[in-house]
A and B are shown apart, each in its own frame.
Chain A
């Protein structure tokens, strides 16, 4: 084994030269000779019957090649969009979801017709000429009302709007805790709907070759192998003849995990027409139709003692499923399993209710379920502390799961692999100057300053995941990860991974691991992903902060297999016993005589030549699949300091400190970048972002980036970051995930700070987004 040189180093990203010069390969940068362009006709109504679709005029328009409606796809696409049974194995009512509506449109933006033309502009013109006769129906928008038995229905034929209603643990589990409670605190906590907003929207370029029955798709996805699986199934194609290429992807944040209606319709159009076709989503289409995040509210009660001991929790999640159950929608129920956070509890009762509405479906968005869990538990702990007059730091310290407790089996039977929560908290408090801040707060309050300090001591489960847990959750496919390492005769290396990167820098991080393991320069390692036409048979994409802790370990193991074979061959060449051969700094030598050595490259060349040891095949390559024995459990402590202007409701973030622990770190620069971006998305949710629907008409009122407020450089403070290192015992690299950590932590820290700032006004809880108008109204009400 070579001495580690690259792992842990601040290696500059290999992706960047092409990206900073405008030479990346995003979906819209690809084309095919003879390509036609697709525009979709979408329902302007959140709920309507489709009485008639008149396509004559559109069909005759300049450049229009074809106009299709639902019935044209009936023979092309089988079945309904998949809704994986993740977590909620028994669903009460899962509406059929064909990729294009025929009789009833159930959300604004649902596709009702497809126009294909020679140019993008002609396709858009043609789409405007399709005349659809709708009979509008009542739109079911409000989740609480939708859950009532007398509600209008999201689908006219449905008995009610309940997609699932499942208790994970009944009230009996927390009964003793609540009976012995000295304090009970209740709150309703909202998680507004968000649109993920990757800067590159989605898009599909599809080319079906009829004579070979071969389909190639270029698209912007986090999950090319899953897309291949689903699309080949729906189109009745052999999986091996479908190739999905997802080259550079301009951000995903969860919104590019699941297959979408367009991912089926565009290749089906290519097959119908016999020519390549392309569709690039507009931003307006994205805001309206990309699977939304969050969209939940929680009714929570916490039982505690007056000394701050947390006893029990009862939590019900109401989840706005949208009009259909998106493929990974039910994953968001993991919030119920994570509601206990970093603390010890006697008992937690939890129940999830999935409620259908006439809105675009929700699906995982960065953190998915874990930001919600963190937000609710961190808010509730603060509310208990406030109730009993305890410092938020002290109540956390009192209830933390302790280092000696790991591996710790939490209330829902999940095994938390490792942690040292107090260590990260202490470091964060030190960096923030907590004691001094509290003194400043006391002083400031004398002068009418509304300054607040918020904590978020978050934990996370990620790195999906063990086959025993994930295969049942997907309907049979385990979320292990695959890697292939191929060494060329002259010693350069191609590595294939089934994970995917869309900003995470895997070409760099993973190459660091391979270069160290093989003892070769990083420049000679080419890391490839995002093309199902090469590499391993299956891959599981990137989601749930899994790439390093599952995919990285697979890469490390495949590299290890290559070294094992090379060592055997080196022993043969050096005429020594295998156990006497040392591999160091990229060279094999016999123990005690480092002068007589063979480089890794020399051994690679020999592997393709003559005179191999008896029974050894030519070549130097290996495949590994890693099935992790558990999930991994990152954690951290964030401190946010705000000042609220009581006259305008404006919030200024004065300081933000993030101390996170993701186990061993391969590349500290990339880890910091992930925290920066993650925290910013959490701040975005806390202060700015919300998909707002008109409750009467059901129209989305925040349908563009004018109305939907993504934070700009001017609204985000400099972030102070640091790490503690508690290696994961779950894998030999000791790594955890970091992609979602910042988002999981941040909203709670910000809202706790604002709630703390407004304490003198008697305000205990603030909903998100804590926009100036909301805070101004709340402050005005409190001052009455």
Chain B
């Protein structure tokens, strides 16, 4: 039996019929073609599939697609606007915060949530805030630096999470 699921992803509305057991991450990748959200494990450890659901960072392998009914989602594809990188994306590039790039979308989304909650995090707060994401290439040194740089360029004065999500999903 299939279930209807309607979501707004990166400001665009999608409607699909899906199996109840379909994970949200598979829905994003296989039905919506948004392959920037990656899968790195099967036990919700790695955080590669992190997205924003109504402004909250969520590992999209921990939700069924049907649980996203009526929600507003932001994936990595929704971060850059009009060919301009989001300041967090820019900071990851500037600070060499990625190597193979597989974990990167998840880190950027987790960092986006972290900075929406805490616009001026200490190094320790960044490290704790990102401990749900695994990177095997960078040793985290430049990821932490990238988040610090992003916090600076974003002015350390972000709007609260809900509004932030509306903003990054294209202001629908």
A interface residue numbers (CB < 8 A to B): 12-13, 15-17, 19-24, 26, 28-29, 120-121, 197-201, 248-251, 253, 280, 282-284, 502-505, 669-670, 672-673, 676-681, 704-706, 710, 712-714, 716, 718-719, 742
Contacts and interface: CB of A to CB of B under 8 A. Distances in A.
A284 B36 contact: no
Interface stretch (B62-70, B136-144, B157-165): B136-144
Given A20-B93, A710-B136, A719-B139, A502 B100 contact: yes
5 contacts: A12-B94, A199-B134, A250-B38, A680-B140, A712-B130
B93 A251 contact: no
A197 B136 contact: yes
Given A12-B93, A283-B46, A712-B131, A200 B41 contact: no
Contact of A253 (B46, B75, B131, B136): B136
Contacts of B21: 121
Contact of B19 (A121, A248, A502, A673): A121
B32 interface: no
Question: What 6 A-B pairs have minimum CB-CB distances, sorted nearest first?
Answer: A22-B36, A250-B102, A19-B101, A680-B139, A503-B100, A503-B99
B96 interface: yes
B36, B103, B134, B139: residue with the most chain A Cβ atoms closer than 10 Å: B139
A248 B105 CA distance: 14
B89 A21 contact: yes
Interface in B46-100: 46, 48, 75-77, 79-80, 85, 89, 92-94, 96, 98-100
Given A503-B137, A677-B139, A713-B143, A200 B99 contact: no
Contact of A251 (B35, B102, B133): B102
Given A20-B101, A199-B38, A712-B132, 12 more contacts: A20-B93, A21-B36, A22-B37, A199-B40, A199-B100, A199-B135, A200-B40, A248-B102, A680-B138, A704-B45, A712-B127, A714-B127
B105 A22 contact: yes
A679 B140 CA distance: 11
B136 A505 contact: no
Contacts of B104: 19-20
A304 to B, nearest CB: 35
Given A22-B36, A713-B130, A16 B140 contact: no
Contact of A20 (B45, B85, B126, B135): B85
Contacts of A704: 41-43, 45
B2 interface: no
A283 B43 contact: yes
A282 B92 contact: no
Contacts of A121: 19, 21-22
A198 B100 contact: yes
Task: Label chain A's interface by main secondary structure.
Answer: loop
Contact of A676 (B48, B100, B130, B142): B142
B170 to A, nearest CB: 15
B96 A199 contact: no
Nearest to B146: A20
B151 interface: no
B103 to A, nearest CB: 5
Contact of B99 (A197, A677, A706, A713): A677
A712 B134 contact: yes
Nearest to A253: B136
Contacts of A710: 134, 136
Interface string B111-155: 000000000000100111011111111111111100000000000
Given A248-B100, A710-B136, A16 B92 contact: yes
Given A20-B98, A28-B39, A198-B100, A713 B136 contact: no
A681 B144 contact: no
B3 interface: no
B135 A505 contact: no
B143 to A, nearest CB: 7
B111 to A, nearest CB: 11
B24 interface: no
A191 B112 CA distance: 39
B100 A21 contact: no
Given A29-B35, A705-B134, A719 B141 contact: yes
A284 B100 contact: no
B40 A22 contact: no
Nearest to B43: A704
A620 to B, nearest CB: 33
B34 interface: yes
Residue of B98, B102, B128 most packed against chain A (CB within 10 A): B102
B141 A20 contact: no
Contacts of A120: 26
B98 to A, nearest CB: 6
A510 to B, nearest CB: 16
Given A20-B93, A22-B76, A714 B131 contact: yes
A22 B136 contact: no
Nearest to B105: A22
A481 B18 CA distance: 49
B9 interface: no
Contact of A199 (B76, B102, B127, B144): B102
Contacts of B42: 282-284, 704
Contact of A21 (B37, B77, B143): B77
